[in-house]
Structure 1
Amino acid sequence: MSEAGPRLGGRRHSDERSSPQRSLGQRKPARTITIDGEHAGRRLDKFLRSQFKGVPAGLLFRLLRQGKLRVNGRKAQQNHRLQEGDVIDVPELHVDTAAAPRPAVPSTLLDQLRGAVLHEDDDLLIIDKPAGAAVHRGTDVSAGVIEALQHLRPELPELELSHRLDRGTSGVLALAKTPSMLRYLHGLLRDRKHEIERHYLAVVAGRWPADMDIVDAPLRREEDGVVVAGDGQSAETRVSVKRRIGNRATVVDVRLVTGRKHQIRVHLSHAGHPIAGDDRYGGRAFNRRVTGLGGPGIYLHAAKLVIPKPDGADLVVTAPMPRRWKALLNSDL
């Protein structure tokens, strides 16, 4: 390993050596990568995709299958778990840059995220995600939060989402700066004993019963959404009343015990109190009234995240209630 490998985002990265550049159009130079402790334990395919973001994943996987991209001089499977000291030999890669242009990030999203940081340290970047922003690019989204942050923070090339929020949901969103922190957070999300606490605020239709503090109903994904079903995955949500809005709505504090897709939205609707502005699981008449009084969009906000850090301390990050909620909260629904 060389004395000083490249530094990315202020951290030592895997040691990387490149052969002299060849003038062959868009070919990239052959290189050798030595895995350091930060990347030990990662799957080979995920590591390669993170390092060669301009290269189609299909090309990387084909090179693995053909044995042209090797680990420690041997052919490797894409699910191979890397170990510290592993040496990856990467051949010259033919990259058609015109076929994979960098996603265009809307200027409005960039402006929203410049002042959205709630917490930052060596391992984490935690932001207040604006409502209406997708967390990543998709079929109808040219660029989401992760692409925008990669544009704003090029010194953090390994920045990754640790969890997701629905497009319409605002609030606390955590991103890992390093692969080791990403693995740590994913482990916490799977661990019921040392879990990340995720608290939300929601405005729901009707008067939520003060004595109904748990919704425990299994969920199953279907083509047109998520439904409560006996053969679904276990799902538990804890709910407490924060305040009443007249006689027609309630602001509730919601804590996710499990983290299924659309869990809060489906559970609250299943309990007979759908979230205001929820165009999939909510009520049309109530949503029309809410839109007229407080504006469009779902009234669901990730208000607090409590992360047990590796040193034993809890990191508590909160996001203030969105300003657009004030008109609705001050109304007489």
Structure 2
Amino acid sequence: MTAQEPQKQLQVHLVTISSDNEGQRIDNFLITQLKGVPKSMIYRILRKGEVRVNKKRIKPEYKLNIGDEVRIPPVRVAEKVNPPLSPKLDKIAVLEHAIIYEDEVILAINKPSGIAVHGGSGLSFGVIEGLRALRPDSRFLELVHRIDRETSGILLIAKKRSALNSLHEQLRLKQMSKNYLALVKGDWPSSCKVVQAPLLKNVLKSGERIVRVNQEGKPSETRFKVEERFGFATLVRASPITGRTHQIRVHTQYTGHPIAFDNRYGDEQFDHELAKTQLNRLFLHAANVQFTHPSTGETMQLNAPLDGALQQCLTILRQHQ
């Protein structure tokens, strides 16, 4: 229904909760069920008792159980519907080839650089929208975590809510380990194995997020190991212990060794020196992740190879040693 079309009389909708939505808060469940309905309206119908679970009034923080019957009242709203994404679009087709692991409850892709993990901020397309177009029969697909648009590498997606809850708990308890490869300016000192520097996020009027080391920020820790040296550059393995926005990028800048082709925290002279490798993207790649499988309890270790641009950069640097 578009804004110009007459609004239709909606019916009371009854939904029986399956394992896909077990443990989800009722307010978040309604947000997914009532697309285009303002959050203020959703909280209003909850407050007024128009939403019922098992014929009883509930609070917004109520967590759903398998078998719950949810009464969703008629909600009239003029909603502009975007046309569905076609699985044939080039970017979406790329995602199909980027899948490195998939089973009944989780999916992992080697995300290409330049694709956001989700739409928003002026972007209509992201990884999660693309995967939903590729998997129209999947009732549940949600991001387990995020990586920056410019960063490539492993991104985990849950195919069941129980898997999402399990993996989020592992992240919260720091039981999931993630390792990144980054090409940084200069000769990274072997003695610098840990950077602990609090990070404060600022949002500019343009909507751009800029993160700075600031004592008023959140505690942040990244561990580093030198992988390879190239004279004016070093390939390091970065393992974030905390998961702050732009953490690795800001911690490397803070030590005086910014990442190659970082358009926010980088060094133009360093980027200029790397021009001979034809590199034109951020050299930050989520190369490895280790976690416990939500269903089997097995220890999972997934690896994502570097793309052609990053491999070429390293090959040329080795030739010029």
Q: What TM-score bracket applies, with the shorter chain setting the length? A: 0.7 to 0.9
> 2:277 matched to 1:297?
no
The match for 1:288 among 258, 272, 280 is 272
- 1:63 aligns with 45
Displacement of 1:65 in angstroms is 2.9
Deviation at 1:38, TM superposition (A): 4.4
User: Any conservation in 2 of the 1:103–1:142 contact (CA below 8 Å)?
Assistant: no
Distance 1:104 1:208 in 2: 44
C-alpha displacement of 1:222:
2.0
Alignment partner, residue 196 of structure 1:
176
Tell me the residue number matched to 2:303.
318
Task: Report if the CA contact (8 A) 2:20-2:140 is conserved.
Answer: no
The equivalences for 1:37-56 within 5 A come to 37-53=19-35, 55-56=37-38
Partner of 2:82: 101
1:327 aligns with 2:302: no
Correspondence for 2:203: 223
* TM score, norm. by length of structure 1: 0.85
Q: What is the CA RMSD across the aligned residues, in angstroms?
A: 2.2
1:166 aligns with 2:166: no
Per-residue deviation, 1:26: 4.2
Q: List runs of 5+ in structure 2 lacking aligned partners.
A: 1-5, 205-209
State the 1:76 CA deviation.
2.5
Distance, in Å, in 1 between the alignment partners of 2:186 and 2:27 is 49
Contact 1:220 1:231 in 2 (8 A): yes
Q: CA deviation at 1:94?
A: 3.2
Q: Which runs of 5+ in 1 are unaligned?
A: 1-23
Partners of 1:104 and 1:142 within 8 A in 2:
no
TM-score w.r.t. length of structure 2: 0.88
- CA drift of 1:287 comes to 2.0
Q: 1:171 to 1:26 in 2, by over 3 A?
A: farther
Cross-structure match for 1:207: 187
Give yes or no for contact 1:113–1:129 (8 Å, CA) kept in 2.
Answer: yes
1:301 counterpart SS class? strand
1:34 paired residue number: 16
Match of 1:147 in 2: 129
Of the structure 1 ranges 37-46 and 108-117, higher mean CA displacement relative to structure 2 is found in 37-46
- Aligned-residue offset at 1:48: 2.0
Contact 2:179–2:238 (8 Å) recurs in 1: yes
**Is contact 1:220-1:232 (8 Å) kept?**
yes
Alpha-carbon spacing, 1:34–1:308, altered in 2? closer, same or farther (3 Å): same
**8 Å contact kept, 1:116–1:127:** yes
Q: Is the partner of 2:182 in helix, strand or coil? A: strand
Q: Look up the match of 2:236.
A: 252
SS of the aligned residue for 2:21 comes to coil
Partner of 1:278: 262
Letter in 2 for 1:326: Q
Report the equivalent of 1:10.
none
Q: Percent identity?
A: 38
In structure 1, the partner of 2:250 is 266
CA contact (8 A) 2:21 2:161 kept: yes
Q: Which is further off, 133-142 or 66-75?
A: 66-75
Q: 8 Å contact 1:218–1:230 — kept in the other structure?
A: yes
Is contact 1:126–1:173 with CA below 8 Å preserved after alignment? yes
1:178 aligns with 2:138: no
Shift of 1:326: 2.8
Aligned-partner SS, 2:277: helix
The residue that corresponds to 2:3 in the other structure is none
**1:163 and 1:173 in contact (8 A); partners too:** yes
> Separation in 2 of the partners of 1:103 and 1:138?
16
Contact 1:36 1:85 in 2 (8 A): yes
